[in-house]
Chains A and B, each alone.
Chain A
């Protein structure tokens, strides 16, 4: 158990809809990262938050947004969903060890868009 909790584990929805994925980081970790894992794209970095502030953006679509709340949990919002958004979405957290520290991953939220 990594200590990172993601909900829901599975989600099936239709094109055009909007969903919210939730992540609770390990206790004490200030950084939260979101990754998308799809069969053809591998693991793609989406966005990072640190203590409530956006720290970096990766290949995140404009239809997607995220935030980190004062209690440090984070949400990833996906809107106007397309078939190609079907993927496994991982949240990870890290502490203050900088580049030498590992990222701890949740078990992922599997999104299926029909």
Chain B
């Protein structure tokens, strides 16, 4: 089936540290890949996306590259801020069927000053 596996959290870092949150996927066909972020008390919002192999999505200093050969879409940021504290979800979306998003389990990130 189609699934997303994320690095288990919680992850705690100091401000200005380098961040990587690992995400791998299993999919039939060619999915689009997404990172969503959920700030405390809010709904999910799109952080970045990539629609085909080797695409790099980027936003707010975050980046992720669609790696078909390793079926991965790892999220990175060079220097995190306290305001980046949130839960991050990796997700895939297929063209077949319902086109729903299939989410990973989420990774809670806490940045300490």
| Chain A interface (Cβ < 8 Å from any Cβ of B) | 2, 4, 31, 33, 42-43, 45, 48, 55-56, 58, 90, 92, 94, 98-100, 102-108
Complex alpha-carbon distance, A66 and B7, angstroms: 33
Instruction: Say how far B103's CB is from chain A's closest CB, in angstroms.
Output: 4
Query: What interface size band does chain B fall in?
Result: 20 to 34
B43 touching A2, Cβ below 8 Å: yes
B32 touching A58, Cβ below 8 Å: no
Interface string of B87-113 (1 = CB under 8 A from A): 001000111011111111110000000
Interface string of B42-53 (1 = CB under 8 A from A): 111110010100
A43 touching B106, Cβ below 8 Å: yes
A99 touching B98, Cβ below 8 Å: no
Q: Which of A4, A42, A99, A102 contacts B103 (CB 8 A)?
A: A42
Judge if B25 is at the interface, Cβ distance under 8 Å. no
Complex alpha-carbon distance, A108 and B38, angstroms: 11
Instruction: Say how far A92's CB is from chain B's closest CB, in angstroms.
Output: 8
Number of A-B pairs, beta carbon distance below 8 Å:
58
B32 touching A99, Cβ below 8 Å: yes
Give the secondary structure class of A's interface: strand
Complex alpha-carbon distance, A79 and B77, angstroms: 44
Judge if B34 is at the interface, Cβ distance under 8 Å. yes
3 A-B pairs with least C-beta separation? A56-B98, A99-B95, A105-B43
